[in-house]
């Protein structure tokens, strides 16, 4: 595997020192992959170009990009590329979970958020960050100043899971706090009341924000493959229970699929982009979804 591409693997990224290096290597690995893939015709020039649309000046077509991709792209001017985005990261206790062989959800979320921030800053976008549990713990309003990325990365590097979950309340607070409309990127396991989450997402949409949601789960939270007997500890209440996980598996899987289906339906009804991400997934899965969304904003 290409030296850069290997850092799309969460476990390989975790071995790097410093979140700034992690973000850079993830994004460089992602761009390397775009060079070798026909996905949406993107190449390293995605920050400078957009697909040709009817009515565009033919003189603005970049024929070099056409020669490599066999697709028409026009050069964007700086005012066309600016996007205002805020990345919202759930740091509640449930995000600290990690099954054997995988990194904690909050760690995956921090690397993904750092990579998104790094990539957007390189595109001259304005980027902000919010960290929350039952309330907003850190809020950095979106800015496009390159040096601002250091503050965002520093906040992500110092994340520690904190308190009980109340995603909906924190999102509602942020919907009021973010004054200018733009793109809202939410990274959370969404372990909260679905009706409350629906109300919070509606709050963002009512204020004319575009929203992309990454529901982040550990593989075992999907398949419940914990072996025949396991001890379960509630990360928030610390309550312990020893049980035969095999007996619970089918009912758990049905309940989880029902929960995910309801979240998807909420997002669909409110025109929110929903993406399920697992901590074993390479980072390019989420980055591609982001680029697809950005192209539509």
Residue by residue, DSSP assigns the chain as: --TTGGGGSHHHHHTSSSHHHHHHHHHHHHHHHHHT--GGG--GGGGTEEE--TTS-GGGB-HHHHHHHSS-EEEPPHHHH--EEEEEEE-SGGGG---TTS--HHHHHHHHHHHHHHHHHHTT-EEEEEEESSSEEEEEEEE--TTHHHHHHHHHHT----S---HHHHHHHHHHH--S--EEEEEE---S-HHHHHHHHHHHHHTT-EEEEEEEE-HHHHH----SEEEEE-TTT--EEEEEHHHHHHHHHHHHHHHHHHHHHHHHHTT-EEEEEETTS-THHHHHHHHHHHHH-
Query: What are the tens digits of pLDDT across the range 15-30?
Result: 999 999 999 999 888 8
Residue ranges per domain, the chain?
A: 5-79, 82-296
* pLDDT above 70 as % of the chain: 84
Question: Average pLDDT of the chain?
Answer: 84
At 51-71, the pLDDT tens digits run 777 777 777 787 877 887 888
**pLDDT at 46 exceeding the cut of 50:** no
What integer is the mean pLDDT of 88-101? Answer: 93
In the CATH hierarchy, which fold is given to the domain comprising 82-296? Rossmann fold (3.40.50)
Q: Is the pLDDT of residue 92 over 80?
A: yes
What confidence category does residue 9 fall into, taking pLDDT thresholds of 50, 70 and 90?
very high
């Amino acid at each position: 595997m290409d030296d850069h591409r290997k850092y799309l693997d969460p476990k390989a990224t975790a071995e790097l020192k410093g979140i700034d290096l992690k973000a850079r290597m993830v994004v460089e690995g992602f761009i390397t992959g775009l060079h070798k893939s026909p996905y949406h015709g993107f190449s390293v020039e995605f920050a400078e170009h957009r697909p040709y649309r009817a009515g565009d000046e033919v003189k603005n077509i970049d024929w070099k990009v056409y020669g490599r991709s066999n697709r028409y792209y026009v050069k964007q001017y700086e005012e066309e590329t600016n996007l205002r985005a805020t990345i919202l990261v759930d740091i509640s206790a449930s995000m600290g979970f990690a099954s054997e062989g995988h990194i904690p959800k909050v760690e995956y979320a921090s690397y993904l958020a750092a990579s998104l921030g790094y990539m957007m800053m390189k595109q001259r976008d304005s980027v902000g960050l919010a960290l929350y549990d039952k309330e907003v713990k850190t809020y950095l309003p979106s800015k496009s100043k390159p040096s601002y990325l250091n503050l965002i990365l520093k906040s992500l590097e110092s994340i520690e899971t904190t308190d009980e979950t109340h995603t909906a309340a924190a999102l509602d607070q942020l919907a009021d706090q973010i004054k200018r409309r733009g793109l809202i990127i939410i990274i959370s396991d969404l372990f909260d009341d679905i009706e409350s989450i629906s109300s919070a997402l509606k709050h963002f949409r009512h204020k004319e924000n575009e929203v992309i949601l990454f529901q982040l789960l550990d593989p075992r939270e999907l398949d419940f493959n914990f072996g025949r007997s396991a001890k379960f500890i509630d990360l928030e209440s610390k309550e312990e229970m020893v049980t035969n996980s095999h007996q619970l598996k089918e009912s758990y899987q049905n309940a989880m699929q029902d929960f995910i289906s309801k979240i998807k339906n909420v997002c669909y009804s409110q025109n929110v982009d929903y993406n399920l991400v697992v901590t074993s997934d390479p980072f390019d899965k989420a980055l591609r979804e982001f680029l697809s969304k950005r192209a539509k904003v």
